[in-house]
């Protein structure tokens, strides 16, 4: 919210300078983001009148003018502005004047002496317009200092309001806050009802009562739409960041800034029948004031006449019924639209306006008629005309529920002494009309305060009016008991640290992603959709972390990073019937060389087994099993599902070549994605006594079917091995001469040891026999001699 300080002080004028006022506003929760002067520093510039204009004798594009600066002695000034003419008033910089970056001196311009300079707005630093001289009103006093006449020492406040303070999106609302903060009486804008002169009234129908709580309209006939906007109004609009357009449009914008109520003016001669507030038809089109057309969807609220939609409710008017210089009859609209009926619609249609900004946050639903009366008064003053009566229709208005404040609770939360009288007086200064019963204060929030709904909101009001800076910073005292924490399981931070030690870097990405990622990496045609996405490319909730990792890998590769190791721990979102599951997963991606560039190892690309070793480190000391599987994100034949204790816990494999090409990954990429709970459930290695007795090793070579994965065989051996078996390691795999084509030879080294005694040959042979039995019964293994 941007506004000039001079406008605010017409309603409330506390005994504070600009800097102190900005500090008080900020410390009350209304952050002053910027405090800047209206114009840069300059001096020696007065209001000058051009009394004569003649051609320059030595230059075709220059003129020699006589300028009266109010002292009765016109001086000669050379000017090249195309709009200079006799009788006009313009800023005149005398000799010796200091302009931004320029000092005015007596000069010879093509042989003609120039005693100063007539100035444009750009030369004074007021705007970027350098097309001609800055024309001043005809009643400007000649010779008056320009800074005083145009009030250029005024300051501009820019407030960074939070989304819940829609009541401060107007000068009157800010004045109300300043009055409460400083204890200074704040005036309301004077608004008097305008009596009807003509009986003409527009019929109104609200077909969407939940979306439109109130709709007010008034016909004004015989207006002069070409009337000029007065300088004082244009000045306030410009200093508040709005561009003057025409008198009628400027009045609606002025009331928007003054009272916070958006208004719209229709050309009544272009309307057919009555006004209808309804939802748009699917695919209905509307040409807007900005010159663009939009195709609407059924959630859009529109204002329509008997023929078609003429405005996008709460956002922008239509081009066909826009007010022009030829307009003689207008229909003024002032409405209350529910925030949920406007929020997100502008984003869907790529439109953002001052009106939608206010309606999305909530406007005062009791202020429509007052704003309409204010706008009518200003239009009649500027453009003339004959007003009709105010027509009004009502839908469903918000209910205001009483909120209770326990003063003892306020003292406990704030940590300061708050009396009942102080709390009640604070709330009364805010216009909340408190009702006091002992130490219980009840407030029914006014129509403009959507942010007051629970007790904590009232406590916040007391705190910010008291002043956050006046609340002492005290260190809370208390005893803390250390809670028991299991040392036998891993945490998510342990997983992060382990991956970081294996050269991975963590990313943290949004949970909402592009819909194309879900189709490509998950074959998910119906992901969890967002009702109100923050951007069009973030429209669905992710069901996999792989898309985010690929996107960040592409980002790094485009910045000359060749070796990339990324991981993320985050939630995914899966629909299961009427429920949305949110599993926590860990995923990783490796691209580029397997190891950093070095002299001792040849350069090679990362492969499936490099990433598998990282995954095994996460689940150590338990061995994992992998099984070939088809996955939409992974290379056919180079992907596997990860199995632990007979349960599938994730996937591992090379990225599918089609997606590597589509997402600009020139190097081989290997990814994994695992259910995090399966890792956290693993017991971490615990302390065991170092054996004092010798170990025994035996090597076993067996033939098994080629279809059996080694991980499954090793896992079965470890699971059914006797207690004395401490380690089973595969050290050789052979296919070839002497082995059937559908077989493979595996050689295992078995280590056996007992911590309490030396093993006997019988115990060793019994353990080996048990392992051979496992190989024979579960995998059809045959001992090789």
Q: What is the pLDDT of residues 667-695, one digit of tens each?
A: 889 999 999 988 887 666 667 777 788 99
- Residue 354: what pLDDT? 93
- Residue 424: what pLDDT? 94
pLDDT one-digit tens code per residue, 698-744: 999 999 998 888 888 888 898 889 989 988 999 999 988 888 888 99
Range of lowest pLDDT (57-66, 471-480, 632-641, 683-692): 683-692
- Residue 534: what pLDDT? 84
Token code pair at residue 716: 């079965």
Q: How confident is the model at residue 482 (pLDDT cuts 50, 70, 90)?
A: confident
- Residue 476: what pLDDT? 73
Q: Report, as an integer, the average pLDDT of 152-168.
A: 93
The residue whose two tokens read 């949920």 is: 340
Distance from C-alpha of 213 to C-alpha of 494, rounded to nearest angstrom: 55
Q: Report, as an integer, the average pLDDT of 176-191.
A: 93
Residue 358 has pLDDT above 80, yes or no: yes
| Angle in degrees, CA 261, 265, 268, rounded to 5 | 145
Q: Report, as an integer, the average pLDDT of 307-315.
A: 94
Of 732, 710, 631, the residue nearest 673 (C-alpha):
631
Q: At what angle do helices 171-182 and 420-429 cross, to 10 degrees?
A: 150
Q: Report, as an integer, the average pLDDT of 80-100.
A: 93
Q: How confident is the model at residue 569 (pLDDT cuts 50, 70, 90)?
A: very high
Write down all domains in the chain, each with its CATH number in brackets: 2-38+154-182 (3.30.56.10), 43-149 (2.40.50.140), 204-394 (3.50.40.10), 403-466 (3.30.56.10), 492-680 (3.30.930.10), 696-783 (3.30.70.380)
Distance from C-alpha of 66 to C-alpha of 77, rounded to nearest angstrom: 6
The residue whose two tokens read 């929760």 is: 29
Distance from C-alpha of 767 to C-alpha of 780, rounded to nearest angstrom: 19
The residue whose two tokens read 């949004």 is: 510
Q: How confident is the model at residue 488 (pLDDT cuts 50, 70, 90)?
A: low
pLDDT one-digit tens code per residue, 739-755: 888 899 999 999 999 88
pLDDT one-digit tens code per residue, 646-675: 789 999 999 999 999 999 888 889 999 999
Q: Report, as an integer, the average pLDDT of 120-140.
A: 86
Burial degree of 272 (CB within 10 A; 0-12, 13-18, 19+): exposed
What rounded mean pLDDT belongs to the chain? 91
Cβ-count burial 502-518 (b if 16+ within 10 Å, e if not): bebeebeeebbbbbebb
- Residue 640: what pLDDT? 92
- Residue 239: what pLDDT? 92
Q: How confident is the model at residue 487 (pLDDT cuts 50, 70, 90)?
A: low
Q: Report, as an integer, the average pLDDT of 42-60.
A: 92
Q: Report, as an integer, the average pLDDT of 424-440.
A: 93
Report whether 337 contacts 301 (CB < 8 A).
yes
Report whether 66 contacts 75 (CB < 8 A).
yes
- Residue 699: what pLDDT? 93
* H or E element in which residue 517 lies: helix 515-522
Token code pair at residue 754: 């007992």
Report whether 725 contacts 752 (CB < 8 A).
yes
| Angle in degrees, CA 589, 591, 597, rounded to 5 | 130
Range of lowest pLDDT (208-217, 406-415, 480-489, 514-523): 480-489
Q: At what angle do helices 354-361 and 247-259 cross, to 10 degrees?
A: 30
Report whether 512 contacts 540 (CB < 8 A).
yes
**How crowded is residue 691: how many other Cβ atoms within 10 Å of its Cβ?**
12
DSSP labels, 111-178: TEEE-SEE--TTTTTS-S--SS-----TTPPTT-BHHHHTTTT-EEEEEE--TT-GGGSSHHHHHHHH
* H or E element in which residue 279 lies: strand 275-279
The whole-model pTM stands at 0.66
DSSP labels, 454-494: SHHHHHHHHHHHH-GGGS---------PPPP--SSB--HHH
Residue 344 has pLDDT above 70, yes or no: yes
Residue 253 has pLDDT above 90, yes or no: yes
- Which residues, 6 or more positions from 384, have their beta carbon under 8 angstroms from its beta carbon? 222, 223, 224, 227
Q: Report, as an integer, the average pLDDT of 605-624.
A: 85
Q: Report, as an integer, the average pLDDT of 264-292.
A: 93
Q: State what percent of residues in the chain have pLDDT above 90.
A: 71
Q: Report, as an integer, the average pLDDT of 482-510.
A: 86
Residue 486 has pLDDT above 90, yes or no: no
Q: Report, as an integer, the average pLDDT of 364-371.
A: 95
pLDDT one-digit tens code per residue, 204-225: 999 999 999 999 999 999 999 9
Distance from C-alpha of 589 to C-alpha of 552, rounded to nearest angstrom: 10
Q: How far is CA 232 from the centre of its chain?
A: 35
Distance from C-alpha of 523 to C-alpha of 659, rounded to nearest angstrom: 12
Q: Report, as an integer, the average pLDDT of 14-26.
A: 94
Task: Give bridge partners of residue 265 from the DSSP assignment.
Answer: 332
């Amino acid at each position: 919210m941007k506004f000039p300080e001079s406008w605010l002080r017409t309603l409330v004028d506390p005994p504070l300078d600009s800097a102190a006022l900005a500090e008080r506003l900020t410390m009350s929760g209304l952050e002053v983001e910027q405090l800047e002067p209206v114009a840069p520093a300059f001096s020696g510039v007065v209001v000058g009148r051009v009394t004569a204009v003649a051609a320059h004798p030595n230059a075709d594009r220059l003129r020699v003018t006589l300028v009266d600066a109010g002292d009765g002695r016109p001086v000669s000034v050379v000017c090249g502005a195309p709009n200079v003419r006799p009788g006009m008033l313009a800023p005149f910089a005398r000799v010796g004047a200091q302009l931004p970056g320029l000092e005015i001196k007596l000069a010879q311009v093509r042989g003609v002496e120039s005693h100063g300079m007539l100035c444009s707005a750009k030369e004074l630093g007021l705007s970027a317009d350098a097309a001609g001289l800055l024309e001043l009103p005809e009643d400007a006093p000649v010779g008056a200092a320009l800074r005083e006449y145009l009030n250029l020492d005024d300051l501009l406040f820019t407030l960074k309001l939070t989304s819940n303070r829609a009541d401060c999106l107007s000068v009157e609302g800010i004045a109300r806050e300043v009055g409460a903060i400083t204890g200074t009486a704040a005036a309301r804008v004077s608004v008097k009802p305008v009596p009807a002169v003509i009986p003409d009234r527009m019929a109104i129908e609200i077909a969407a009562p939940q979306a439109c709580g109130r709709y007010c309209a008034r016909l004004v006939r015989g207006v002069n739409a070409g009337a000029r906007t007065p300088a004082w109004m244009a000045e306030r609009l410009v200093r508040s960041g709005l561009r003057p357009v025409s008198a009628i449009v400027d009045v609606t914008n002025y009331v928007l800034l003054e009272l916070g109520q958006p208004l719209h003016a229709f050309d009544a001669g272009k309307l057919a029948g009555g006004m209808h507030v309804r939802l748009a038809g699917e695919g209905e089109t509307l040409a807007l004031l900005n010159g663009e057309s939009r195709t609407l969807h059924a959630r859009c609220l529109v204002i329509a006449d008997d023929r078609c939609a003429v405005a996008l409710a709460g956002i922008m008017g239509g081009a066909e019924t826009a007010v022009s210089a030829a307009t003689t009859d207008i229909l003024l609209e002032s409405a209350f639209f529910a925030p949920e009926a406007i929020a997100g619609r502008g984003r869907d249609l790529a439109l953002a306006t001052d009106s939608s900004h206010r309606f999305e946050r909530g406007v005062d639903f009791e202020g429509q008629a007052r704003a309409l009366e204010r706008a009518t008064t200003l239009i009649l003053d500027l453009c003339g005309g004959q007003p009709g009566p105010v027509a009004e229709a009502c839908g469903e208005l918000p209910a205001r529920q009483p909120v209770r404040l326990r003063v003892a609770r306020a003292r406990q939360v704030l940590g300061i002494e708050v009396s009942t009288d102080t709390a009640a007086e604070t709330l009364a200064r805010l216009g909340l009309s408190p009702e006091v019963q002992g130490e219980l204060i009840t407030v029914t929030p006014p129509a403009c305060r959507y942010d007051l709904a629970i007790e904590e909101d009232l406590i916040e009001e007391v705190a910010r009016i008291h002043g956050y800076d006046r609340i002492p910073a005290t260190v809370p005292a208390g005893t803390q008991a250390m809670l028991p924490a299991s040392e036998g399981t891993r945490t998510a931070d342990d997983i992060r640290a382990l991956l970081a030690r294996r050269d991975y870097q963590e990313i943290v990405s949004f949970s909402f992603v592009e819909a194309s990622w879900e189709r490509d990496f998950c074959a998910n045609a119906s992901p969890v959709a967002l009702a109100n996405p923050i951007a069009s490319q973030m429209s669905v909730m992710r069901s996999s972390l792989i898309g985010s990792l690929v996107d960040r890998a592409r980002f790094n590769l485009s910045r000359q990073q060749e070796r990339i190791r990324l991981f993320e721990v985050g939630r995914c979102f899966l629909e299961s019937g009427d429920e949305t599951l949110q599993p926590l997963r860990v995923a990783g991606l490796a691209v580029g060389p397997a190891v950093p560039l070095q002299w001792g190892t040849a350069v090679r690309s990362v492969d499936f087994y490099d990433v598998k070793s990282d995954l095994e480190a996460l689940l150590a000391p338990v061995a994992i099993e992998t099984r070939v599987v088809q996955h939409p994100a992974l290379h056919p034949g180079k992907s596997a599902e990860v199995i632990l204790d007979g349960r599938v816990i994730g996937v591992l494999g090379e990225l599918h070549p089609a997606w590597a090409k589509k997402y600009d990954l020139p190097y081989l990429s290997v990814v994994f994605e695992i259910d995090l709970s399966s890792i956290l459930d693993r017991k971490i290695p615990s302390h065991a006594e170092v054996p004092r007795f010798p170990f025994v090793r035996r090597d076993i070579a067996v033939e098994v079917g080629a279809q059996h994965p080694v991980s499954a065989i090793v896992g079965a051996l470890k699971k059914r091995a006797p207690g004395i078996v401490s380690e089973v390691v595969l050290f050789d795999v052979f296919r070839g001469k002497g082995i059937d084509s559908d077989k493979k030879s595996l050689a295992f080294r078995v280590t056996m040891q007992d911590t309490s005694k030396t093993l006997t040959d019988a115990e060793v042979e019994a353990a080996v026999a048990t392992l051979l039995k496992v190989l024979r019964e579960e995998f059809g293994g045959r001992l090789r001699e």
